[in-house]
């Protein structure tokens, strides 16, 4: 189906977290409805959606009923089961498509896809199957240098499923803790900064990018995103070019987040892709208050087959995540005239849990 969905149509969203919630709000602003499918009865996205299904992602009957009730389907997380994705795509437009899921839900497949498109990535190595012996560490240090970053190929996020192997005698124990799992080994990248770009592609192949954002992580969780990033214009153009290649290579529809390492400084700057996320992304939340059309609205427009909106930025911004107890300061944040508070409606504050974020305009441009 290439006809645009009419206002009043329903978009199905797999996943009911804060990303699904903000997508549903953006859809509502365009007169579109959302049906959220999520196993968690306390999903934040349920509060703002026309319909919900509480069921496991492997519940075929529930998925089939969900697909019948919607006009197109998207998702807020990349670990959607491929069998479920295929079931959906056989009946209704699934945007982004199954290829984006297949490539991005396995770090090895993702790196191979990127390298195959001549997109720069750090050095990596994987064993199939991974059965470490007493020569494995030496081989890793020889091929990738010291230290080596070890990551599970699937289901890792916010630093989970990751460890650093050092050539100081401690590596064997760390390595054996991951034995039997599918892992990828990466050379440690001595980056000067981490940046990301949000890109969007419509059903007709038209594409656009938001400005590059500079990201700071604390305890592996995104703490702040600042735009513009402190990089050269040529580096920013390179990020846009890479984004275009990835979007086209995946025949992508929707918003895609790409995280990069910047190596070197200014005159000698280069980019390596760390990972891609086939969805709206935390480092794009600043677009809600820094652009006329946010990443959420543009994703919904693309999924609905509508013309894309502008990705132009009208302000310099800092987005600060509210993690755990940070959200308890909501009154002070709300009273701050420079801050725009976004809360996700999560009932319980837990350490490390993303509860909301604050967008601050630092300069009108």
Identity of the residue, 186 or 297, whose beta carbon is nearer to ligand AMP in the bound complex: 186
> How far apart are CB 81 and ligand AMP at their closest, in Å?
21
> How far apart are CB 149 and ligand AMP at their closest, in Å?
4
Identity of the residue, 218 or 338, whose beta carbon is nearer to ligand AMP in the bound complex: 218
Select from 73-81, 186-194, 305-313, 345-353 the region that touches ligand AMP (CB under 6 A). 186-194
Q: Is 289 in the site for ligand AMP (CB under 6 A)?
A: no
Q: Is 106 in the site for ligand AMP (CB under 6 A)?
A: no
Identity of the residue, 257 or 305, whose beta carbon is nearer to ligand AMP in the bound complex: 257
Task: State how far the Cα of 32 lies from the Cα of 16, in Å rounded to an integer.
Answer: 17
- CA-closest candidate to residue 223, choices 61, 59, 358, 52: 358
Binding residue (CB under 6 A) for ligand AMP from 60, 117, 143, 217 = 217
Q: Is 110 in the site for ligand AMP (CB under 6 A)?
A: no
Identity of the residue, 153 or 201, whose beta carbon is nearer to ligand AMP in the bound complex: 153
Omega within 30 of 0 (cis) for the link into 166: no
Q: Is 275 in the site for ligand AMP (CB under 6 A)?
A: yes
Number of residues in contact with ligand AMP, rule: CB under 6 A? 13
> How far apart are CB 264 and ligand AMP at their closest, in Å?
14
Virtual torsion, Cα 59, 281, 48, 97, nearest 10 deg: -40
Burial of residue 133, with CB atoms counted within 10 A of its CB: 0-12 exposed, 13-18 middle, 19 or more buried: exposed
Q: Is 189 in the site for ligand AMP (CB under 6 A)?
A: yes
Task: State how far the Cα of 143 lies from the Cα of 124, in Å rounded to an integer.
Answer: 9
> How far apart are CB 172 and ligand AMP at their closest, in Å?
20
Identity of the residue, 120 or 122, whose beta carbon is nearer to ligand AMP in the bound complex: 122
> How far apart are CB 43 and ligand AMP at their closest, in Å?
24
Binding residue (CB under 6 A) for ligand AMP from 68, 117, 143, 220 = 220
Omega within 30 of 0 (cis) for the link into 228: yes
Which of the residues 312 through 351 are near ligand AMP (CB under 6 A)? Answer: none
Q: Is 188 in the site for ligand AMP (CB under 6 A)?
A: yes
Identity of the residue, 277 or 302, whose beta carbon is nearer to ligand AMP in the bound complex: 277
Q: Is 186 in the site for ligand AMP (CB under 6 A)?
A: yes
Binding residue (CB under 6 A) for ligand AMP from 274, 294, 295, 359 = 274
CA angle 189, 195, 198 (to 5 degrees): 130
Binding residue (CB under 6 A) for ligand AMP from 4, 39, 122, 228 = 122
Omega within 30 of 0 (cis) for the link into 99: no
Report the DSSP pairing between strands 193-201 and 213-218: antiparallel
- CA-closest candidate to residue 81, choices 54, 61, 101, 103: 101
Give the three-state DSSP class for 157.
coil
Which of the residues 144 through 183 are near ligand AMP (CB under 6 A)? Answer: 149, 156, 159
Contacts of 233 (CB under 8 A, 6+ apart): none
CA angle 105, 201, 246 (to 5 degrees): 50
> How far apart are CB 151 and ligand AMP at their closest, in Å?
6
Token digits of residue 147: 């230290």
Say if residues 176 and 161 touch (Cβ distance below 8 Å): no
Task: State how far the Cα of 358 lies from the Cα of 320, in Å rounded to an integer.
Answer: 5
> How far apart are CB 114 and ligand AMP at their closest, in Å?
13
Identity of the residue, 188 or 330, whose beta carbon is nearer to ligand AMP in the bound complex: 188
Identity of the residue, 159 or 352, whose beta carbon is nearer to ligand AMP in the bound complex: 159
Say if residues 100 and 250 touch (Cβ distance below 8 Å): yes
What DSSP designation does 251 have? T
Binding site for ligand AMP (CB under 6 A): 122, 149, 156, 159, 186, 188-189, 194, 217, 220, 259, 274-275
């Amino acid at each position: 189906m290439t006809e645009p969905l009419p206002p009043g149509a329903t978009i199905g969203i797999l996943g009911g977290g804060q990303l699904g919630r903000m997508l549903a709000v953006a859809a509502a602003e365009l007169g579109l409805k959302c049906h959220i499918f999520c196993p968690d009865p306390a999903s934040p996205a349920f509060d703002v959606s026309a319909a919900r299904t509480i069921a496991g992602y492997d519940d075929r009957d529930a998925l089939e009923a969900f697909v019948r009730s919607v006009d197109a389907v998207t998702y807020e997380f990349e670990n959607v089961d491929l069998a479920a994705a295929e079931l959906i795509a056989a009946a209704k437009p699934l945007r982004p498509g199954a290829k984006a899921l297949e490539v991005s839900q396995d770090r090895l497949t993702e790196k191979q896809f990127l390298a195959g498109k001549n997109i720069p990535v750090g050095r990596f190595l994987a064993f199939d199957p991974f059965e470490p012996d007493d020569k494995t560490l030496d081989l890793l240090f020889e091929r990738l240098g010291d230290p080596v970053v070890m990551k599970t190929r699937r289901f890792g996020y916010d630093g989970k499923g990751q460890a650093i192997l050092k050539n100081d005698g401690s590596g064997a124990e760390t390595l054996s803790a991951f034995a039997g799992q599918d892992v990828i080994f990466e050379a440690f990248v001595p980056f000067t900064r981490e940046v990301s770009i949000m890109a969007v592609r419509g059903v007709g192949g038209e594409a656009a990018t938001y400005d590059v954002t500079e990201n700071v992580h604390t305890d592996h969780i995104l703490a702040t995103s600042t735009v513009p990033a402190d990089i050269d214009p040529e580096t920013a153009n390179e990020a846009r070019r890479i984004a275009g290649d990835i979007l086209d290579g995946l025949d992508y529809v929707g918003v895609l987040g790409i995280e990069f390492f910047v190596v070197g400084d200014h005159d000698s700057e280069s980019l390596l892709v760390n990972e891609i996320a086939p969805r709206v992304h935390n480092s794009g939340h600043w677009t809600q208050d820094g652009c006329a059309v946010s990443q959420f609205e543009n994703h919904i427009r693309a999924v609905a087959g509508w013309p894309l909106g502008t990705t132009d930025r009208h302000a310099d911004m800092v987005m600060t995540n509210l993690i755990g107890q940070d959200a308890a300061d909501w009154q002070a944040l709300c009273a701050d005239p420079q801050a725009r508070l976004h809360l996700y409606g999560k009932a319980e504050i837990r350490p490390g849990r993303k509860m909301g974020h604050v967008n601050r305009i630092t300069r009108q441009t």
